[in-house]
Structure 1
């Protein structure tokens, strides 16, 4: 704990000025005047006595002037001390930064109210106990960490605390602490306190991969628990998947053990399906229900301790019509596959030499022809504008044509030749999280006879022989491109005769489509040159915010369905609360210790324990400065009177 601190530490650089009187004294040389005089025998004792008295007064004057300059520099620095002093001498000053958590998890009901009003009440109780000379900053603990006021008087801080409203945003206490630290450090308030009023749930400081850095303000962190601190009974949407081929939803989640829940699928304002679920002893459950993927649809559970996350909103574009252009001399296995996938919304068109208009009108373009010269620029333009591109070079592909296309998508990606393996290769998953419900066991009977070689890439989604890339995805402009390196023809592979082929092809295509976006989370921003308008779930228009590059971003702060104009056509967006907000488990002290790092902190049940106050020393230093100025005046006048006296007896 710092015993003394300064509001303006930079002023201490002027401390060397206190030595100025000494420097002037040493540089001043008064040569004695030669005056004709008869005899000094009678004056010798008087001269010695007066000379000693003169030197003493000069050194006292030097000391007083040095102290005056020293006190003036310290007054500029604004000193304060943590000590018990009379209020008339040093008024009590408390410097605080209050972080009020208003994230979605603070909507948890405990008793007669949610946790946010309880946190506000605790903060206001603390504000009432502060003196008018105190300075308080107020920040929000939700994403964005809005600063409601800087270091203001307690009355203004109380007004801002009362204005804090519940949000649907995620928690970001780490960001709030760093912002508060910057406020205190920039104001020169070292050794102050940061009070955090939060539910202190598991994810309130984010992933907490690394501890908080050492605070520049050396502030003490006081964590005040909102509510009684018990884990609430709340349903968590852990994993919700829609299978477009099966027209079925699979829901996996967690709730309080033994707590039965009712799940309802609400489509366009009407309950389309309802199911009862009963979790196991650990609180986990899973269930399924049919859905066609159309309409404004959300899943809703029965009321629990956190009503704000009771709904899970589904993107409306999950199963829309997707215009697929297959560029090939013959449809073959790919044509049969997309015919089987028509239930997932694919509408296939086959052309060997497509026009630029046909390419531009497609959502997904599959290049599987032998020669593709003449359409490279049209393909690149389509991908740049947001279309998906899947490149499947056939066995008789013109490699130069394909390499010319690939070089414009990724400079380090090129076909080096055909494989020469004597035995068939095995297909395996590269990134296991990409493909839903497909395991390596589902691919174990697929044989790869020939495949195109490209430089090794660690991000391959499918691999051949667990070594060579089989499927690679690349972002390009507003769209995505993928290269499928083992073809679909019987001469290259037998994948077309295995049930896993349809699932692999469908999910690879979904990954290339922008419409495959699973939705947004509150706290994210919507951006894009083709977006011109955004309306929130409550019907209010949202104003766009320019970023550092001048591009407009729209904040998504409420959960629900948003409507937007995209390319002058209407589109509905689904926005959900961050899933980690639904986990109401509390942080343990050892976990908090790891997050806090080397910073000083304490965990409190209430805000009754006031943070340490600073006593400003300005009054004391002003008094001493005035006193020494008067003393300097007296000494200077006495010295002048003394010097005017004749040296006679």
Structure 2
């Protein structure tokens, strides 16, 4: 307990002597009174009783305690509920650590946790005297401060609070604590207030040890205990590079952070024009993946927005993607005949682009093997060999260089010269790179056991992803009539095997490129491969998996730095705008004839870079999915309670109690009133005793 007005104690102390003076003045000297009446005898007996003798002393004690309680009430007693941080004669040094994370934007009762935190912070500042200092630390991805050091400018601190807009990122309280330590350097006895909703992800790993030892920490919880929320956690296509004519699958992961199931529509908007909807159902506290096939049309860069219905937290109901679409990619098909109307080349060309008018994403071009040289290979990134015929040493070297430089090779071992070709290419690659050791060619008419079938596979390979799960049975439908007797070379990976353990499909790498080897033919006379409905889809999927480029970068997250390269004229005539259409400032650095620019992304949506030629580039930015689960962590479980003197403050009354303690004067007054009643009761009992 502590008294807030100890200075008047000396002035009020003489009042304690008043009951003693009353006691001394009320004592009467004993005298002898003659009487003869029995009534006078009873009175004399009562006056000489023990109670009568001690009543003055008892009344003295009660009256003295009464005066002491009244005196204590005037001294303004307080209970130091939050420890010895209450100061009566020294300036207070207060730091407000303000949570700037996305979860603070969740709506509850018409207000956000951010708005409630601003009100609580203003109450703390209002409790300060003119000589007290304050600073504001904004806990976001970085830790910004309102002042370089502690300041007595309370008005500016309020202005900084009221100027705070929504936060869309995460809160790094570790960095915030380091900023607090810097601003309190050389100051003892400081008060540190954390104004937060205590969302569990932001507070999962916070180190309070850097804080000054003498400082006390206070947790002001402005969050609601249970706010249901739904969010789009991530979204993306099932392939890296998208080409005009592709039928790609968009997959979105949706989370339901609520005790109630969710049934609703997921909306997909392409370039703010085309709109698609997909029904989705989620159990409580679960996630689900929603898939939507999309026909990709139109070369260029597109914008895709995935949207959920409104709820308490609006920002995570959207997910933004940029979708760069390239033109059809040429695939070179080389065979000995060069005839695209018959045999293996025909079936390969048809599988690569089976669409009417060749509207698919790949454009096959069939050439005779004789034209296969370094010049022809330099014009393509993907090559398919089928019934290739004998390769010259120069062609084998060109193939090795093609793969080494990042080219993708699909090789059907379906000609009589493939064993020699494989050895020549392996030699050109430096030896020991080709995955198979080829023996004699086996044909169906020479087999007593009939056709071969695939019985084993490495289905974790991305080149076999179409056969995972129940789709694996499609491989059992394949019948191979002609193949090479072969064994593993020890290099590369065997992906599929026949019943007699002969490798049916293998993968190898050389330099930057990848090769896929099939130990059978696409020709209908050598296998039923081309007659299977899975053949075109599988071959196209392998071509997509062989893409060397990473494709469009994943959408960035809020509070990251984005970069782009532009020409100087683009900076003179172009402009960079944020999702709200406001100009964005950026940093620049010369890179030869071009300029690299970099800018920050404090909010989600599409950032638009308009170039000098009128074209536009878009950059998608999304909020962190870690902020979507709005469940709170109990502040008392945080390590601060073990590392430092720490308390949790509840509401405005709690803030007043931190500043000046819990008032006790009313209890002193009640105690004095009770003593006054006791004094009257004692008097009443004594009089009644005497009369009886």
Name the residue aligned to 1:224.
220
Name the residue aligned to 2:537.
502
CA distance in 1, matches of 2:333, 2:612: 26
1:56-95 pair list within 5 angstroms: 87=89, 91-95=90-94
CA distance in 2, matches of 1:201, 1:335: 56
Give a deviation string over 1:180-225, Cα, whole Å, max 9, x none. Answer: 255257x3457755433222223224xx5x6648426456554432
CA shift for structure 1 position 166? 0.9
Q: Is the 8 A contact 2:323 2:552 kept in 1?
A: no
Name the residue aligned to 1:582.
628
Name the residue aligned to 2:76.
none
**Given the alignment of the two structures, is residue 345 of structure 1 paired with residue 361 of structure 2, yes or no?**
yes
**Given the alignment of the two structures, is residue 150 of structure 1 paired with residue 148 of structure 2, yes or no?**
yes
Name the residue aligned to 2:264.
261
- Going from structure 1 to structure 2, the CA distance change for 1:344 and 1:166 (only over 3 Å counts) comes to farther
**Given the alignment of the two structures, is residue 306 of structure 1 paired with residue 337 of structure 2, yes or no?**
no
1:239-388 pair list within 5 angstroms: 246=247, 249-255=250-256, 256=258, 257-270=260-273, 272-274=275-277, 277-280=280-283, 289=292, 291-293=294-296, 295-317=302-324, 320-326=326-332, 328-329=334-335, 332=345, 335-340=349-354, 345-349=361-365, 353=372, 359=378, 364-366=381-383, 371=395, 373=397
Q: Is the 8 A contact 1:430 1:463 kept in 2?
A: no
Q: Secondary structure of the residue that 1:203 maps to in structure 2?
A: coil
Name the residue aligned to 2:160.
160
Q: Secondary structure of the residue that 2:551 maps to in structure 1?
A: helix
CA shift for structure 1 position 122? 1.8
Q: Is the 8 A contact 1:519 1:574 kept in 2?
A: yes
Give a deviation string over 1:238-277, Cα, whole Å, max 9, x none. Answer: 6665688655545452334244434333334346334555
CA distance in 2, matches of 1:495, 1:601: 72
> Where does structure 2 lack aligned partners over 5 or more consecutive residues?
1-82, 339-343, 441-451, 660-692
CA distance in 2, matches of 1:106, 1:316: 31
CA distance in 2, matches of 1:471, 1:273: 39
CA distance in 2, matches of 1:198, 1:261: 31
Q: Secondary structure of the residue that 1:373 maps to in structure 2?
A: helix
Q: Secondary structure of the residue that 1:539 maps to in structure 2?
A: coil
CA distance in 1, matches of 2:621, 2:181: 32
Q: Secondary structure of the residue that 2:182 maps to in structure 1?
A: helix
CA shift for structure 1 position 305? 1.0
Name the residue aligned to 1:198.
196
Give a deviation string over 1:63-109, Cα, whole Å, max 9, x none. Answer: xxxxxxxxxxxxxxxxxx9777762xxx223252x332233332211
Q: Secondary structure of the residue that 1:149 maps to in structure 2?
A: coil
The number of residues matched between the two structures is 498
1:418 to 436, 443, 462: 436
Q: Is the 8 A contact 2:94 2:193 kept in 1?
A: no
CA distance in 1, matches of 2:616, 2:579: 15
Name the residue aligned to 2:468.
439
CA distance in 1, matches of 2:432, 2:650: 62
Q: Is the 8 A contact 2:253 2:289 kept in 1?
A: yes
- Going from structure 1 to structure 2, the CA distance change for 1:541 and 1:340 (only over 3 Å counts) comes to farther
Q: Is the 8 A contact 1:279 1:285 kept in 2?
A: yes
CA shift for structure 1 position 120? 1.9
Q: Secondary structure of the residue that 1:315 maps to in structure 2?
A: strand
> Where does structure 1 lack aligned partners over 5 or more consecutive residues?
1-80, 384-388, 408-412, 614-649
Deviates more, 1:270-279 or 1:570-579: 270-279
Deviates more, 1:559-568 or 1:171-180: 559-568
Q: Is the 8 A contact 1:559 1:576 kept in 2?
A: yes
Q: Is the 8 A contact 1:136 1:152 kept in 2?
A: yes
- Going from structure 1 to structure 2, the CA distance change for 1:247 and 1:455 (only over 3 Å counts) comes to closer
CA shift for structure 1 position 119? 1.8
Q: Is the 8 A contact 2:435 2:507 kept in 1?
A: no
CA distance in 1, matches of 2:461, 2:179: 40
Name the residue aligned to 1:172.
171
Q: Is the 8 A contact 1:462 1:471 kept in 2?
A: yes
Q: Is the 8 A contact 1:199 1:225 kept in 2?
A: yes
2:556 to 512, 520, 534: 520
Please report the TM-score for the alignment, with normalisation by the length of structure 2. Answer: 0.57
Give a deviation string over 1:381-424, Cα, whole Å, max 9, x none. Answer: 7x6xxxxx43456665567867987x9xxxxx972753589997
Q: Is the 8 A contact 1:139 1:145 kept in 2?
A: yes
CA shift for structure 1 position 572? 3.2
Please report the TM-score for the alignment, with normalisation by the length of structure 1. Answer: 0.60
Name the residue aligned to 1:631.
none
CA distance in 2, matches of 1:435, 1:593: 47
Deviates more, 1:249-258 or 1:118-127: 249-258
CA shift for structure 1 position 306? 1.3
Q: Is the 8 A contact 1:267 1:298 kept in 2?
A: yes
1:35-46 pair list within 5 angstroms: none
CA shift for structure 1 position 577? 2.0
- Going from structure 1 to structure 2, the CA distance change for 1:486 and 1:575 (only over 3 Å counts) comes to same
- Going from structure 1 to structure 2, the CA distance change for 1:574 and 1:128 (only over 3 Å counts) comes to same
Max Rg structure: 2
- Going from structure 1 to structure 2, the CA distance change for 1:524 and 1:267 (only over 3 Å counts) comes to same
